Structure formats: structure tokens, C-alpha cells
Structure 1
Amino acid sequence: MVYNFRVFKKCSPNGKLTLFMAKRDFVDHISGIEPIEGVLLVDEDYKDRKVYVQVICSFRYGREEDEMMGLNFQKDLCLGSQQIYPPPEKQNTSKLQDRLIKKLGPNAYAFTFILPPSAPASVSIQQGRDEEGQPCGVQYYVKTFVGENETDRSHKRSTVTLGVRKVQYAPSKQGRQPCTVVRKDFMLSPGDLELELTLDKQLYHHGEKIAVNICIRNNSNKVVKKIKAMVQQGVDVVLFQNGQYRTTVATIETQEGCPIQPGSSLQKIVYLTPTLSSNKDRRGIALDGQLKRQESSLASTTLLAAPDQRDAFGIIVSYAVKVKLYLGALAGELSAELPFVLMHPKPGRDKKVIHADSQADVETFRQDTIDPDYEVEAY
């Protein structure tokens, strides 16, 4: 039986180097990260040259249009580098790499990189309508070039860059059901106001409705006039000490069941669905790292193996449901919040064996581009 498998292909502008990769999304399983694997085809004209392959993490933390007088708001970190030609000692290769090398011939060489556990996830920050240039965020790309050493400045004509992503998928098991209770006392007034907040589960997939169970017990002499529930996205730019901010990505206000008079109670369920479609024009929203011609979504929750495992070049994303009770100008308000996890489900895996007669579906990219922001435009 013949199986088809997809391969991404990109050539250098001069056609001397051709990069082949089987996938562009590499999954962080918390316990480890999938290796970045590929094959490079080197032209005969480069047999007397040195060829290098690197994995670059590019972190943009400021607007490109604000850069002037040598000021740069982008940091490029090389997470892995190896000389691919002349080839080093024999290294272990995967079945796909073996199959590609067999098809491409003796001038094809395999490479493999393992990202460090603390490497940040691919995230981009949504720009405003009037903003141009590269968006802020974390991007990865594989770069191959010709040079005297791995720190040599590369030339555009003999350089290939192909964007990749480091992603996380939702765990298979749910955590504890989120629940919290908050109370508010009032000066010179007896009793208190109690707000109990419960979510139906801890882990949600993108596009799924979040059921928020609200229970209010008014043992005070105040009146609850309005209820507001919202989903807030938290973004922590680790590089900056005060780089944390929150943005509301879904909200609902209701006066149903209000006013809640002293001595009475109310229990109700409201539904919230945080989606990118309802936040298209909102600047500063964190999105999943983007590749051209692919639909993006709100950024997934960042899962860390340990709270202190934060890369300085990373952006940490979190989500929480917040409910506010409005009591009037003098009495103020009472609020409670619950964190939850928002992620994509793990895609189904087809366990197909690559046979000798397998056919590769090759996707080719433009040769005359080097900027990683444009590398995925196809012919």
C-alpha cells in the first residue's frame, strides 16, 4: 500500500540549497519537546564550502515602526547550530529522513535539533489597524546558510529561512473543578454578601462554551443591582518587570434576577465563549504563533513544568473568569475570579508506516524571500 506524506520545501534564492521538512509544528509535551528534523540538499557547486543549519528564536518586544537611530526592539537567540556540510560523524536519522535522503540522492544531509525545556511557546500579539511591520511576540525559524563559521554573516542569495512553531496541546485529563467563595462585610452594617463561583470543568478547548455557575447569598442590608461576567486573558512579558496586563476577551452583563434584596439569594448559570472573531480589532490580544495561510486563534494557556521555569524571552498566557456584583455608588462592588485552561485538543494521530514506495506531497515556497514573516508564501 502506498501512503502519501507531506513535505515542505524551500530553496535559497540562488537555488544552491534546498531545505525539506516534514512538519512545521513541534509539540511541547511538558516532559519533552519533539525534535526538529529535516533534510538539506546541497548543490555540487558548494562541495568546497561550509554549510550550517540553525534554529533561531526571534523575540520582538516593541513596534518595528518605533525603531530609529540604531534602536532595535528584537532579539534573536540561536537555540541550536550545527555544521551540516562537510557532514559530521554518522548521526541517527528518522525513517522519514532516510526516505528523503534515498529519494534526493547522496547530496542530501539530515539534521536534528532538540529545543531546551524552557524554550517559550510561539505567540504573537495582535496589532492595531494602523500598525505595520512584524507583530510583537515569539517566532521560530530554521535557517541554513553558507559561511566560514556558524557566526559568519549570511548572504541572502545563499540563505534559506523557514518558519516553524513550538506548540502545546491540551492534556488528556481534566484537573480539579474550579470553585471559590468570597464574602464582603460592610462598615456600620450587619451581615455580609457572599458570592460563590464554580466552573463546570478546568480545561476548555478553543470555541467551547464556558458555563459559569453563580450563587449569590445576600445576608447584608445592601442591594445587588447588576451582575457582570467576563473572561480575561493575562499576558506576562517575562523580559519586563512590569510586563503583565489583562484584556477582556468575552463579557456579558445581566440584570436578570436583580435587584437582589437583603435576605434573598440567586443562583444562575451564564455562558461565555472567548473567540478571536469577537476580538478582531482589539490591539494587544495574544494569539497563537501564526504561519501564513493558516487561521489563527486566541493564544493557548502556557503550561509550565515548574512555576520558575520561565525563559526571559517568553510570553506567558493565562485565562480567568471574573464575576462582578454591582451594589451602587456607595456600597461599591464584590468580585471573584477563577483561573482555567484554554487550549487546542491534541490532533488525532495516524500511525502510518512510511514504505519504500511512499509518495511525498511537496509544498514549495518562494526562493526570493528571507524574511521569516514572508517565508510561507507559495507559488
Structure 2
Amino acid sequence: MHVLLNGHGTQEHDILLGSLVNGVGLALNLQDIKIPKGRTSCARSGTGLGDAPCLQACREALPSILQREEWPSPSLPALGVGCATSSSLIQGSQHVCLCFLCRVFKKTSPNSKLSIYLGKRDFVDHVDSVDSVDGVCLIDPEYLKDRKVYVTLTCAFRYGRDDLDVIGLTFRKDIYVLTTQIFPPVPDQAPKTLTPLQEKLMKKLGENAYPFTFEVATNLPCSVTLQPGPDDVGKACGVDFEVKGFCAENLEEKIHKRNSVRLIIRKIQFAPPIMGPAPKSETTRQFMMSDKPLHLEASLDKEIYYHGDPINVTVNINNTTNKIVKKIKISVDQITDVVLYSLDKYTKTVCAEEINENVGANSTFSKTYSVTPMLSANREKRGLALDGKLKHEDTNLASSTILRPGMDKEVLGILVSYKVKVNLVVSRGGILGDLTSSDVGVELPVILMHPKPADGKYPHSEENW
């Protein structure tokens, strides 16, 4: 939901959108909305995001205003703030407020001649299909002269540092690139059908707005970032997706920053609706000088856990030996396979608990423990895999990679998985018992992901603010 305030905004803030509720416009006097003192212009340059005081004022005022005006749907769960520039929005010197049904992400080139509009920045991988990447590019035809305008979608794998490029070492590899020419329009490359958002944007932006749509392959990796160390500089390693618009005479021409625009997007996965059986593992250890074995069984209560949720680990011990279990160690490891570049495998412990539990000889034991892997406890670990993040936003531990049967793993770049390890520290007992202790352990696979939103609205999409 957009609320466009202050008709005297600059072109830099322009985020004019399209059809409203039931296709009807609504103009409201700003005197109905108690904008905080000193907040006469509430759009941040080039982002379309409003500041918090104005946003809160709109949230508080608009439901009652819409109800008074007999608006079809006075219930507004979320509102955003932007800035409108069209003179048609101003009646004399009176500021107006317009309510829109869409949120748009916009980025403009340094010379202000190209702008890209996207309805969302998170595109969901449903395993058997991926959301299309669609948007609109606004151009200045007088600036172009005889040049063309292209839009590309790139999935890239970054495995080095920016400073390595100075000595000739490549630090970025393009895994997947799609390119479309939007101006002059090429019939074979134009979208066959327009999304509602594209129609709204083109109607408001005018004849110099051109749509583009990319169908994303299903065998591409999700966005992943490898956490840099405290002293690392430059862009982080990992897999990222980028939508780029630029003007050039041909695709071989060098792209200049001043007349190009880049917008980072994310490819994400949500937990599947159907879970598999809960993981369970067991082992039996026979010790010297003991007639009977020690049996360890560990299990989880489900296969998939959501980020931030505790993982419940049930430990069952049947100790028929003459030895003593002194401690129980439970840890969660993240395994990162870099399969595209170096075939490296990194295992990092993201959560560890050590419990002093004495399980005597010829006895049994059963208890459930909870461990919660969190990024907040692992900020300093270099190379830890994180979910791809957008600028100035926080993220979380990387979600587990879900593979389709028969998928080529090498194309995926980085594979992420997790396992829970349960280890028993077993000693002989007595004063010198700890000197001869040994470990008995099992491992359990676990899937760590985000739940699919119940209302079908994803983060950073046009349905949310």
C-alpha cells in the first residue's frame, strides 16, 4: 500500500503508481493526517521509503478517513509512504494524499536517464518452478540517440576479493545470464503478457516505460553470502542475483556506470509443506574389559526447523557397561560445499551445549534438550554461510539447500546443510578415569529454513510494506 504525499516532490523521488481500490482514485487533504512537525517531505531520495513518523501518522489516520469517505475497504493492515511529482496531484497549493495498492522498488542511474522499477526483490524458488522476474525500465529517448537499451538478469558467484582483480585474478564468475533488448523494442523479446504491476507502471510512467520479464531456470542456486571476517574489506563471497539496465550501441560495448543501473534481488526458498520422518540415529559401543555394550539413541521431534526455533534433541542411553557417562555434548554444525569453484567443504559449529550428566554403570537415562542455532552468536566466524542479504539489512544463517532429483549440483555453486551431533564422554570412573575417557556419538541431519508465509505475502514484495 502506498501513500503518496507532498505534490511538490522532485523527480528523483517519483514513484507514481497505477490503479487504486476498485480502479477509483482517492484524494484526501493532508490536514486530515497529523504529520509530525518538520516532516513536510517524507520520501527518501530514490528509495520510495517513507520515514517512520510520517508512516505512523498515515497508519493512524487513514482507516478512519477511508471509513468516513465510505471507502470499500477501510481496514489497512500496513501502509507505506512515498512522494509524488505529477502536477495533476496538486489543486492550487493544496497538498493531497493518494492511496495506492502497490509497492515498488526503484533505482536510477547516476545520470538519471535510466530507471528500473521492480514490484519485489525476493523471488521464490518453488523447487519445480521459480517466480518470474518482471519490471519496467523508464528511459530518456533524447539521451539515447542511436543507442539501444538492454536489461540483464545475472546470477553470479563471487569467490575472491575486489582487490585481487588489480593483479588479474578473476573474483566473479557469471553462472547464468539472460539479456533482453527493450529499446528499440524487439518483438521476439517483448513480454507476451504484462503483469498487473507492469500495466499500472506503464500507464503512469508514460510512453517511455518499457516492460521486461525473465523466466528463471530451476537449477540455479539461492542467494547465499559467506560471512566476511572482521578485517575483510570489499564485497562478500557468495551467490547473488542482479537486474541491470544499461544503454550501449551493442552488447560488446563497455558498460559505463553513469548510464547503467543495478538492483540486487534475492532468490529464496521456503520450507516445503510436507515434512519427512523425524531423524533418528543410534549406535552401540563395546568397550574392553566390559561384557556388555553401551547403547546411545538420539532423535529429533521433526525434520524441518525454522530459523530461530529451538531444536529438540531427545537422548536415550542404555549403559550396561561398567563405565560412567560423564558429559553429554550436543552441537549443530553447518556444512558448506563450494562445488563450483574449489570443491571445498567447510564445517562450522553454529551452536554447542555441554551438559554435565552422570549416567552410572548398569543404568538407563532419557532426556530432551533444546539447542537454538542463531547468527547473533556467530558474528565473528569467517566463511559462515548466510542467507543472501540486501543492503543495510540484517540476515540469518543460510537456509538448507533443497535439491530436485537429478539436479546438477555443480551449477548450484554453494550447497548448505546442517547436522546435529550428540556425543557422550565416557570414562572408567575413579581418580584416573578421565584420563582414559572416550567419545560415543551419533549424527542427525536437520533442515533449517524459513516457513512459507501463511498469507502468501513474501518479504520485499509488492503486497507488503
Q: TM-score range by the shorter chain?
A: 0.7 to 0.9
- Given candidates 308, 325, 330, the residue that maps to 1:229 is 330
C-alpha distance in structure 2 between counterparts of 1:78 and 1:49, whole Å? 25
C-alpha distance in structure 2 between counterparts of 1:279 and 1:202, whole Å? 23
- Given candidates 212, 218, 221, the residue that maps to 1:111 is 212
Is the Cα contact below 8 Å between 1:226 and 1:253 reproduced in 2? yes
1:292 Cα deviation after fit: 1.4
CA RMSD of the aligned region, Å? Answer: 2.1
Structure 1 residue 294 corresponds to structure 2 residue 400: no
C-alpha distance in structure 1 between counterparts of 2:241 and 2:409, whole Å? 17
Aligned counterparts, 1:266-285, within 5 A: 266-285=365-384
Is the Cα contact below 8 Å between 1:228 and 1:324 reproduced in 2? yes
Q: Structure 2: any 5+ residue segments left out of the alignment?
A: 1-20, 22-98, 428-434
- Larger CA deviation: 285-294 vs 216-225: 216-225
> Matched residue of 2:275: which SS?
coil
> Matched residue of 2:198: which SS?
helix
- Given candidates 85, 95, 117, the residue that maps to 2:183 is 85
Which protein is richer in helix relative to its size? Answer: 2
Which protein is richer in strand relative to its size? Answer: 1
Task: Look up the equivalent residue of 1:319 and give its one-letter code.
Answer: Y
Label 1:98 to 1:41 Cα distance change in 2 as closer, same or farther (>3 A): same
1:307 Cα deviation after fit: 5.9
Is the Cα contact below 8 Å between 1:53 and 1:142 reproduced in 2? yes
Is the Cα contact below 8 Å between 1:63 and 1:73 reproduced in 2? yes
Task: Look up the equivalent residue of 2:169 and give its one-letter code.
Answer: L
- Given candidates 402, 416, 437, the residue that maps to 1:317 is 416
Structure 1 residue 25 corresponds to structure 2 residue 119: no
Structure 1 residue 193 corresponds to structure 2 residue 291: no
C-alpha distance in structure 1 between counterparts of 2:292 and 2:273, whole Å? 44
In structure 2, the residue matched to 1:336 is 442
1:153 Cα deviation after fit: 1.8
Aligned counterparts, 1:231-250, within 5 A: 231-240=332-341, 242-250=343-351
> Matched residue of 2:203: which SS?
helix
TM-score after normalising by structure 2:
0.72
In structure 2, the residue matched to 1:42 is 139
Structure 1 residue 70 corresponds to structure 2 residue 168: yes
Structure 1 residue 58 corresponds to structure 2 residue 156: yes
Deviations, residues 48-106 of structure 1 (Å, cap 9, x unaligned): 32111101122111234455521122213442111111112152211111111111111
Label 1:41 to 1:241 Cα distance change in 2 as closer, same or farther (>3 A): closer
Deviations, residues 298-330 of structure 1 (Å, cap 9, x unaligned): 111110112643243511111111011112443
Deviations, residues 271-321 of structure 1 (Å, cap 9, x unaligned): 101111111122221111010132211111110112643243511111111
Label 1:102 to 1:178 Cα distance change in 2 as closer, same or farther (>3 A): same
Is the Cα contact below 8 Å between 1:79 and 1:115 reproduced in 2? no
> Matched residue of 1:6: which SS?
coil
C-alpha distance in structure 2 between counterparts of 1:129 and 1:217, whole Å? 45
> Matched residue of 1:101: which SS?
helix
C-alpha distance in structure 2 between counterparts of 1:273 and 1:220, whole Å? 32
Task: Look up the equivalent residue of 1:262 and give its one-letter code.
Answer: A
Is the Cα contact below 8 Å between 1:126 and 1:283 reproduced in 2? yes
C-alpha distance in structure 2 between counterparts of 1:185 and 1:230, whole Å? 24
Q: Structure 1: any 5+ residue segments left out of the alignment?
A: 352-359, 364-379
Task: Look up the equivalent residue of 1:200 and give its one-letter code.
Answer: D
C-alpha distance in structure 2 between counterparts of 1:115 and 1:247, whole Å? 31
1:15 Cα deviation after fit: 1.4
C-alpha distance in structure 2 between counterparts of 1:131 and 1:290, whole Å? 17
Label 1:164 to 1:176 Cα distance change in 2 as closer, same or farther (>3 A): same
1:16 Cα deviation after fit: 1.3
In structure 1, the residue matched to 2:276 is 175
Deviations, residues 120-153 of structure 1 (Å, cap 9, x unaligned): 1100011111111111111111011112223332
In structure 1, the residue matched to 2:452 is 346
C-alpha distance in structure 2 between counterparts of 1:172 and 1:312, whole Å? 26
Task: Look up the equivalent residue of 2:251 and give its one-letter code.
Answer: E
Label 1:274 to 1:158 Cα distance change in 2 as closer, same or farther (>3 A): same
% identity of equivalent residues: 44
Is the Cα contact below 8 Å between 2:102 and 2:197 reproduced in 1? no
C-alpha distance in structure 1 between counterparts of 2:265 and 2:436, whole Å? 54
- Larger CA deviation: 71-80 vs 36-45: 71-80
Task: Look up the equivalent residue of 2:109 and give its one-letter code.
Answer: S
Q: How many residues align?
A: 353
> Matched residue of 2:273: which SS?
coil
TM-score after normalising by structure 1:
0.88
Aligned counterparts, 1:122-271, within 5 A: 122-187=223-288, 189-240=290-341, 242-256=343-357, 258=358, 260-271=359-370
Which structure has the higher relative contact order (CA within 8 Å, separation 6+)?
1
C-alpha distance in structure 1 between counterparts of 2:343 and 2:208, whole Å? 51
In structure 1, the residue matched to 2:405 is 306
C-alpha distance in structure 1 between counterparts of 2:439 and 2:258, whole Å? 62
In structure 2, the residue matched to 1:8 is 105
Task: Look up the equivalent residue of 2:199 and give its one-letter code.
Answer: D
